[in-house]
Amino acid sequence: MSSTTGSQREAYQPPSVGSSGVGRSYAPAPAGTMFYLCAECGVKVGINKGEPIRCKECGHRILYKQRTTRYLKSKSIVPG
């Protein structure tokens, strides 16, 4: 039933190859890229500062920040 609802002017068009971010994740990430987890497909997504929040595989709109594994240098890291 819902297929008849959409008016013709704004019908969905499948993404054309090359225009989207798909495949970009294989390119070497520039320095300063942070990696996040996609909430939908769980893939690691590299996002540079100022880039839109979008999973590069599935286009999902929520990313989770990962628990860091890097050594944190700040001295006051110890709780309390």
Task: Give me the residues that bind other proteins (CB under 8 A), please.
Answer: 1-2, 4-7, 10-15, 20-22, 32, 34, 36, 39-40, 47, 49-54, 58-68, 72-77, 79-80
User: Minimum Å distance from CB 26 to other proteins?
Assistant: 17
Question: Distances in Å between the alpha carbon of 16 and those of 6, 8, 11, 51?
Answer: 21, 19, 15, 20
User: Minimum Å distance from CB 80 to other proteins?
Assistant: 8
User: Minimum Å distance from CB 40 to other proteins?
Assistant: 7
Q: 37 near 66, Cβ under 8 Å? A: yes
57: DSSP letter: T
